[in-house]
Structure 1
């Protein structure tokens, strides 16, 4: 499912227009993005948690040249599915 298909699904389930569903989906995704960029967690009970994980700096190797390169420390978004989502997927 891509974003347009998600918007169409939200519009059908909520009995709203696709334009309104698009605004709602964009607002939800924007809220999650904003919270994660500030270092906060987003907990959606039954669905899952969005968190920010810290990656350590490391040394890697370029596979073409064999040269070592330094990979700087960074932050990465992570998603941990909730129990209800896991159960729904495994039915």
Structure 2
């Protein structure tokens, strides 16, 4: 795994390969299947909850008026759907312990 920075799909597949003993190809396929299933659920409008980790929540944001910081001109911002992540309490506790 990468020492610092970003955790990648390849890192997850490599961890499965080492910890569970799956082949590299099977590990990569499993990671892709899990991420694909999560993306599919989110695309349908479902939230994704992973116990002990957190919840990916879709929110609909209404239209609002924004302001261009350089010119100060008001600009309408179209309604949109955004994806947010809320870490579980267990995850928050682990992050605080890591400090």
* TM-score, shorter chain, exceeding 0.5: yes
Aligned residues: 91
- Could you say which residue in structure 1 is the equivalent of 2:25? 19
Unaligned runs of 5+ in 2: 1-6
Q: In the alignment, does 2:52 pair up with 1:46?
A: yes
- TM-score when normalising by structure 2: 0.78
Q: TM-score, normalised by structure 1?
A: 0.83
Structure 1 stretches of 4+ with a deviation exceeding 3 A read 63-67
Q: Of the two structures, which has the highest relative contact order with CA contacts closer than 8 Å and spacing of 6 or more?
A: 1
Backbone CA RMSD of aligned residues: 1.6
Deviations 1:5-37 (A, max 9, x none): 222122212211221111111111111111111
Q: 1:63: Cα distance to partner?
A: 3.5
Unpaired runs of 5+ residues, structure 1, are none
- Alignment partner, residue 34 of structure 2: 28
Give, in angstroms, the shift of residue 43 of structure 1. 1.6
Structure 2 residue 90 is matched with structure 1 residue 80: no
